[in-house]
Structures are given as C-alpha cells and as structure tokens.
Amino acid sequence: MVILREKQTLLSKIATSDQHGENSPYFDGWKAYDQDPFHPTQNPNGVIQMGLAENQLSLDLIEKWIAKNPKSSICTIDGVDRFKDIANFQDYHGLYKFREAIANFMGKARGNRVTFDPERIVMGGGATGASESLIFCLADPGDGFLVPTPYYPAFDRDLRWRTGVQLVPITCKSSNGFKITQEALESAYEDAIASNIKVKGLIVANPSNPLGTTMDRETLKTLMSFINDKNIHLVCDEIYAATIFNTPDFVSISEVLQEMEHDPMNPVNPELVHIIYSLSKDMGLPGFRVGILYSYNDAVVSSARKMSSFGLISSQTQYFLASILSDEEFVMNFLSENSRRLAKRHKVFTQGLEEENITCLPSNAGLFVWMDLRRLLKEPTFDEEMVLWRLIIKDVKLNVSPGSSFHCVEPGWFRVCFANMDDQTVEIALDRIHAFVGKEKGNEVVTRNNKRHKPFEKNLRLSFSSRLYDENTLMSPRIMSPHSPFAQSPLVQART
C-alpha cells in the first residue's frame, strides 16, 4: 500500500483521484463475487452474481445466425476475401453500411415510430465512451448536470471522472414511483445555482437503470420544456430502448422531439437534444463495445466525431454488425423473442420473490428489479442498509446492489439483476432468498414449493447468525482489516 501511494505521487490528478467511484459498494459486491464465484458443480455454495446488468438470455439466437452466415466475419474461410479491405479501414466516420444498419436498428428498437439519420451516428467505446465524449463536447470542468436519483452508479465514472463536471442530484422518491416532477427539477436547478454551479444539462436514463421503468410521454415533455426554458442540454441514455418486456411501450425522446418540434405552442430547440445508445443491452453484446452518440446538433456531431478517434468500434465488429443488423427478418424475430424471454424470466423471478412477500417496484424494462427490503431494516438508515447488504452477500451469497450506491435517498432498496444467468441458477437464488426470509426447516434446506435442489446443491447449508457481521470480513477496502484475504488481492491493491 505504501509503495503504491509513493508511486501515485508521480501520477496525474485524474489517475489518482477517487472520482472513478470504484470504492462504492457497487464494486465491493463484485469483489466478493470475484473471490468466491458460484459454479453449479465446482463451487455450488459460492456467491451468485446478481449485480451485473447483462442479458444472456438470447445469445443462442445470434450464435445460430452466425452459423448460417459465415461470410459475415472476415476471419472465416467464407469471409476472408474481404479481410484486407476491412482490416485496413480506419475512417472515424465508420463504415457507411454500419451506420445505416445501426440507424435502422435504432428505429426498430423504437417501434419504427421514428427514424434516425446515419450521418448523425457517432461511434464510441460502448455507451460509456460515447457519453464521456458527449460531456467533453458539452461542458467544461466544474460545470454541472442534473441527474435524477436513483441513477446508474457508473455515471460517476463515465460522465464525471475525467471530464471534471459535477453531477447534481434530482431527488426522486418512492411515494410516486420515483418519477421526476417539475418541482424536483426546479429544486435541483436552484440548489446548483445556489452552489455556484453552472448547469449545462440534464441527463436521464430512460428506461431507467436501476428502476426498470420507462418515462411516460408527459414526463418527457416536462423535461423537454424544462431544458428549453433554461436553455440547457438534454442527454437521454436509451441503452435499454428495446429491453422492454411489458406494457407500457417505450417512448423515446426522439418521438417527443418530433412531436414538439412542430407544435407552435411548445417550441423546442432540437440542438439541445442528444441520445446515447449501445448494443450492450438490447443485443446482449457488451463485449463488442458498440456505443453510439446520436445528436440533433451539427456542431456536437462534428466535434464528437473527432473525439471518437479515442474510442472507435473496430472495423471487424462494424462489418459483422452491418451484416446481422441488415437482416430485417432476424432483427424483428430477435427483438420479439428477446422480449418474450425477458418477460418470462422477470415473471419467474418476481413471483418467486412475492412468495416470500418481497415486492419490487412495478417495472416493464431493463435486466433487473428494484427490490424493496425496507421492512427488513432494523431502522430506516443507510448504515442498516449496509448491514443488511453485507448479510445478503456473506450469508445468502447473492451479490445484489444496495440502493445507496445508486444515490437513492431512501434506505432499503436493492437492485437485483435477473438476466445474466440460466434458469437453474435463478431457482437457486430464489431458494436462498426463501431460506433467508426464515422458512428453512432446521439445517436441511427445503426448497420452495417442496421442489428439491438438483444434486449439486444438496450440500448447501445456510445459517444466519444473529451477529449481523464481523468486522474482519467486511467487504469494503475502505474499512477492511489488513489480514483480510482481500488485502492480498492484486485487484484490490491496484484499486486502493
């Protein structure tokens, strides 16, 4: 640790700042999983990863398409004749076929109610890279962006860390389903002004991570009027646009813009509106790092394109995606089958929770639920939320994410991801929750509905100590004992 600190004095402020957010509980849960990952046969008592918003439910459909279309890759015998061309391509506008296919896909993901112009598509390394480039275009260090809470924890990293902007919370509460109100918007804006922060914009994730809800048309109109009144930018992260599995339908800001642009009563300036998109969620391809910035502002498109040199999508990936996304029939089937599978998984998971009297915020989108465990807190405090969270990781062995890491103002909410695992693992997670809420019979785990675990699970023993946690086993590197196994981990050393 001492050596690392000495070495850090040679580095930049950005490199050594803690604005990355890695010290938040969100990452601590991942460390716990990394140390003891669940595996059905090799580590059946390990931690199940429910903190990862990844969609693994429909990758088989993409695999089948690849098997039928070997020419789509330049690294196969069938596709190698395009290898030289594509491997040499490096224009930061991107392959036209790719931009065209992505623009079409963005339209399909929004029910074809709106179209997108390939000339406005700017590439980024995932939504992460695309959103950082956008912030670099819109603001200077110290400027502020309003963000409704609870929000995706990595916004602190993606939007704030290297750009030096500040995120100003808009407080949303459970009493109205965490909806953004005009009053909350105005109050956050006033707070920023009172703190001498120059507000450059408003950033929302719609559908929301972590809530799994979509914004209604009226709310979107309120946001649009608000940013026009204040003459600030509106950034809509629509990364879950097609990850919708229930009514109401998703409404994109692009639809609202289209509507309001032609409304003389409500004039809006399209140049203030920017959309962040990615294929990480809707296609389940986070490893491909396909991020898109779509801006209605020509100057932003032009400067962001120059910045995109730092996070381009490889031409091999562009080429492959241009092929698969141009297959209209495949895309339509993929989107509807993916929604169907998500709906089924969501139902199994939420019904399993309901059997234990655990409710979630009603949701229609995303890869997670916003689980309400407020009644399990001894007191409604964030300290008690941490106590419960540690118990869930250490004893129940589920890595869920506490609401505090999403800047939620009410203690007791947890985000639980449900699409990054197979059916059997979901059942095991539900059985562990069942045991946790006190229905286990003696030492033997009796599963829900008297179903039996598969043989590899029969050794699972859950015991919940009345002692809630032990100082020596805390997960956080900030408060961890030097003797903890985590202290030896190069991963943690590199991060502290």
Q: Which residues bind ligand PLP (CB under 6 A)?
A: 53, 126-128, 152, 205, 209, 237, 239, 278, 280, 286, 291
Judged by DSSP in three states, 245 sits in coil
HSE, CB side, 13 Å, CA atoms: give it for residue 419: 30
Report the half-sphere exposure of 277 (CA within 13 A, side-chain side): 29
Local structure of residue 247 (DSSP, 8 states):
S
The question of whether 372 is a catalytic residue gets the answer no
Q: Which of 28, 156, 158, 237 is flagged as catalytic?
A: 237
In angstroms and rounded to an integer, the radius of gyration of the C-alpha atoms of the chain is 23
Q: What is the closest distance, in whole angstroms, from the C-beta atom of residue 54 to ligand PLP in the complex?
A: 8
Residue 440 one-letter amino acid: E
Query: Could you say which of 152, 189, 294, 296 is catalytic?
Result: 152
CB-based contact 52:154 (threshold 8 Å): no
Residues in the chain: 496
Q: Which is nearer to ligand PLP, 171 or 206 (CB)?
A: 206
Q: Is the CB of 74 or the CB of 335 nearer to ligand PLP?
A: 335
Q: Coil, strand or helix: which one is 360?
A: strand
Based on the residue annotation, tell me whether 281 is a catalytic residue of this protein: yes
Residue 152 designated active-site:
yes
By C-beta, is 238 or 372 nearer to ligand PLP? Answer: 238
Question: Which residues lie closer than 8 Å to 190 by C-beta, 6 or more apart?
Answer: none
CB of 152 vs ligand PLP, minimal distance in Å: 4
Give the integer Cα–Cα distance in Å for 432 and 67.
38
Strand partners, 236: 204, 275
* 282 is known as an active-site residue: no
- Nearest position to ligand PLP, beta carbon: 126
Contact (CB, 8 A) for 284 and 139: no
Closest C-alpha to 106, from 369, 316, 290: 290
Between CA 470 and CA 479, with CA 476 as vertex, the angle to 5 degrees is 70
Give the C-alpha distances (Å, rounded to integers) separating 327 from 65, 209, 334, 426.
10, 29, 11, 32
Query: Which of 86, 239, 313, 428 is labelled catalytic?
Result: 239
Dihedral through CA 132, CA 368, CA 168, CA 286, nearest 10?
Answer: 0
| Pairing between β-strand 359-360 and β-strand 401-402 as defined by DSSP bridges | unpaired
Nearer to ligand PLP, 404 or 447 (CB): 404
Question: Cβ closer to ligand PLP: 295 or 447?
Answer: 295
Q: Which residue out of 200, 221, 281, 397 is catalytically annotated?
A: 281
Identity of the residue, 205 or 260, whose beta carbon is nearer to ligand PLP in the bound complex: 205
Give the helix ranges, DSSP H, for 310-408.
315-325, 328-355, 382-391
Residues designated as active site: 152, 237, 239, 281
